[in-house]
Structure 1
Amino acid sequence: MTGTLPDLTTEPSHFAADSRHWHPFTPYSDEVHLKVFTADVARNETAVMLRAEAGAQLGVHDHFGRVLAYTLRGRWSYAEHDWVSGPGDFVYEVANSQHTLVADPAEDIEMFIYVEGPIHFLGADGEIVGIETARTFADRYLRFCLDNGYPAPELNPY
């Protein structure tokens, strides 16, 4: 058998600051906005920026994979823990952790987040009220772009 092998080299992907748009993280919160950079549906991994208004909360949720968060602006915490994350702080969340994000009431927050696996949002009685995956992050963002006249970005550039 003769022929050439396909070129399997990969190049880094670059996303200009204005290549993505903030959109509300509904139905979970109108005070929390996301900017989706990548959503790899095959690996169920998502890279996003999260911005929240001062004092905003993002309801109780369960992570089934790791979550890596780097705080860029503001201060935030989890209602279930006694630490506070500020600019330059890094938070490593293990799989199967459950918490409630709370933005400090003094200023808006902004952070970079890398999510592996699904997230279950929980209601007052611990029931699942929503499931987020790379697919749902991508679908919500692409719908937002379509509804607002923005070009649909490539969310899985690999």
Structure 2
Amino acid sequence: MDNLELKPLRFETRSGAFVVVLRSSEDTWLGKHRHRGTVTAVTVSGEWNYKEYDWVAKPGDYVVENPGTIHTLHMGKGAEVVFTISGSLEFFNDDDTLKNTMDIFSYAHLYYEHCRKQGLKPNDGLWF
């Protein structure tokens, strides 16, 4: 998604957890997905929510998501959220069939590919 920016902050290989900042430059949706581990989120700016729930997270809000939760993420324009993700995420097609599964190593691969394409030196200090 062109209007979402994902910035890794930490990769923990022993636990499989990773910490990322997700930012949106426009009002946007991230596909329906399921968490296989616990996810926590701290809202830094803007607002975000899930299509399936009736709450909206605002700056300073702390959200805990239980393993197995399935939802569709909506990020408002200018939203910035720090997510700590344990385990994998499963993304679904519109017909609810499995599209792909991503984990700490999938996200690390995306990060290293981005750095390579941009001619940037990766921050190897992200690994713990």
TM-score above 0.5, yes or no: yes
Structure 2 Cα separation of the partners of residues 101 and 140 of structure 1: 20
**Structure index of larger Rg:** 1
What does residue 114 of structure 1 align with?
84
Does 1:153 pair with 2:116?
Answer: no
| Count of paired positions | 127
Query: Which residues of 2 match residues 60-139 of structure 1 at below 5 A?
Result: 60-104=32-76, 107-139=77-109
Cα deviations across residues 102-157 of structure 1 (Å, max 9, x unaligned)?
123xx31001110000000000111111111000000100110111111121131x
The TM-score with structure 1 as length reference comes to 0.77
Gaps of 5+ in 2: none
Structure 2 Cα separation of the partners of residues 59 and 50 of structure 1: 14
1:97 positional shift = 0.3
DSSP-derived class of the 1:71 partner: strand
Aligned identity (percent) is 30
Higher relative contact order (CA 8 A, sep 6+): 2
Greater share of strand: 2
Gaps of 5+ in 1: 1-28
The TM-score with structure 2 as length reference comes to 0.94
Structure 2 Cα separation of the partners of residues 150 and 142 of structure 1: 9
Structure 1 Cα separation of the partners of residues 114 and 71 of structure 2: 27
RMSD of aligned Cα (Å): 1.1
Cα deviations across residues 40-83 of structure 1 (Å, max 9, x unaligned)?
23421111100013320001000000000000010111000000
Q: Which shifted more, 110-119 or 52-61?
A: 52-61
